[in-house]
Amino acid sequence: MQLSERISRISVSTIATVLQKAEKLKVRDTKLADLGAGEPDFPTPDHIKKAAIKAIEEDFTKYTATGGIRELRQALVEKHAKDYGSNYTVEECLVTVGGKQAVFEAMSAALNEGDEVILPTPHWVTFLEIIKYAGGTPVLLETSESENFAVHAKAIEKLINPKTKLVIVNSPHNPTGAVVPPAEMEKILALAIRHNLLLISDECYCYFLYDGRKPFSLGSSKEREHLLIVDSFSKTYAMTGWRVGFALGPRRLLANMLKLQSHSTSNPNSIAQKAALAAVEGPQTHVDMMRAEYRHRRDRVMEGLQSMPGIRCVPPHGAFYAYPNVSHYFKKDGLGDASALAERLLNEAHVAVVPGTAFGTREHIRISYATSLEHINEGLRRMAAFFTKICLNYVRAEHSSSTLHGLQTKNLGSGEPLSHIPGGGGN
């Protein structure tokens, strides 16, 4: 049987593929330093879990309104108003099965075959695949590492033509951790209004900002007719498995997204919605705790990367990812690109990272610091040993004994000799 042309346009998430390979190693009882998953290692806070248990006990286990229970939508718009000064109404809020469903529905509702979508690159892998699936033509806007992956309204404007329908901005950013300044976001929205486009602002990491940056939502803008905010409970409340997200946007767009929802998932899980309600209405201390912990881990990751010769990394100011450039090592060991390097890091050093090729760049790897400091420290230690091994092999090949000596004295991890590193970058 022939499957559809539409489904053949897309592939399984590269991130999922990497995570599956990592999972296989775990099954083989290999001690893996897992810096791959973009998933908080924190448990879902207790008061949220208790609300779900209560929902089950009270038999809140039936279909709900397609777009989510009214109390939750009300609580979401109220919290958004409190945090950002916005004035969305309940009718401008749709609860979805994770932020992913909101992105999927929005693109399906907005795009015609051949419509162009401007997507800054690097980009979260799912954006590209959904654009293709929905029939759109991705127009990649390459951002520059030397400019800290900044997204400029002016650069977006240069790509706009009569076929352009949609622009996607994601700040704080997966995978770079870059943050678009509020003033630039406003300029991008002004562009969308001027050119009659839809702007999707993916704000799934909006509470994880560091270095004095304050949470910001473009939803605080007065003119929102061309704006769809996508947000999620997954990261903010460590609720990845519960599958709750939401969208704030123009009623007509939401009504059409709702049509699709009514014929696909019906409604977000009833129990998870009650848990989400407790998350929004309850204390936000857990979010503050996670933010403080991520900042601490971010600093550790940056410190570790800075101690590895040849690695450059733009400082991430938000989300929980670092996106170092590892191209220094490509020529040294016949490594073609970040995919080959990530594969070897996994197989030889037992460190899981996601190659930049998943996000549209060949020279980077994504390190997630949504994992324990133990994993981070071990991962950095093994990476340092792995890179040292590559250098040693290279120097050996070049017959340069003096450089070899210099490198041997530079153990880049915790200071332990290479041979003592468990799981072993040296293997």
Interacting residue ranges for ligand PLP, rule: CB under 6 A: 38, 98-100, 124, 170, 174, 202, 204, 232, 234, 240, 245
Give the count of beta carbons closer than 10 Å to the beta carbon of residue 35: 28
Please state, in angstroms and rounded to a whole number, the distance separating the CA atoms of residues 137 and 116: 5
Least Cβ distance, residue 384 to ligand PLP (angstroms): 27
Q: How far is the CB of 234 from ligand PLP (least distance, A)?
A: 3
Q: CB 203 → ligand PLP: shortest distance, Å?
A: 9
Check: CB of residue 25 under 8 Å from CB of residue 32.
Answer: yes
Q: Name the residue nearer to ligand PLP (CB basis): 204 or 342.
A: 204
b (16+ CB within 10 A) / e for 135-154? ebebbebebebeeebbbbbe
CB of 202 to ligand PLP, least distance (A): 5
Report which secondary-structure segment, H or E, holds 142: strand 137-142
What lies within 8 Å, CB to CB, of 335 at 6+ separation is: 329, 341, 344, 390
Closest-CA residue to 67 (of 251, 282, 275): 251
Burial string for 249-271 (b: 16+ CB within 10 Å, else e) reads: bbeebbebbbebbeeebebbbbb
Please give the residue whose beta carbon sits closest to ligand PLP in the complex. Answer: 98
Give the single-character DSSP code of 43: P
Pick 358 or 412: Cβ nearer ligand PLP: 358
Q: How far is the CB of 87 from ligand PLP (least distance, A)?
A: 24
Q: How far is the CB of 268 from ligand PLP (least distance, A)?
A: 11
d(CA 427, CA 419): 9
In 3D space, the residue among 366, 359, 363, 367 whose CA is nearest the CA of residue 123 turns out to be 359
Between residues 19 and 156, which has the closer beta carbon with respect to ligand PLP? 19
| Smaller CB separation from ligand PLP, 128 or 341 | 128
Q: Sort residue 236 into left (φ over 0), alpha (ψ -120 to 50) or beta.
A: alpha
Angstrom distances, CA of residue 29 to CA of 22, 32, 39: 11, 9, 21
Q: Give the distance, in angstroms, between the CA of residue 203 and the centroid of all CA atoms in the same chain.
A: 10
| Least separation in angstroms between CB 170 and ligand PLP | 5
By beta-carbon proximity to ligand PLP, the closer residue of 99 and 425 is 99
The angle at the Cα of 311, spanning 309 to 315, to the nearest 5 degrees, equals 130
Nearer to ligand PLP, 173 or 350 (CB): 173
Give strand pairing partners of 29.
none
The CB-of-31 to ligand PLP minimum distance in angstroms stands at 25
CB of 403 to ligand PLP, least distance (A): 41
**CA–CA dist 393, 4 (Å, integer):** 48
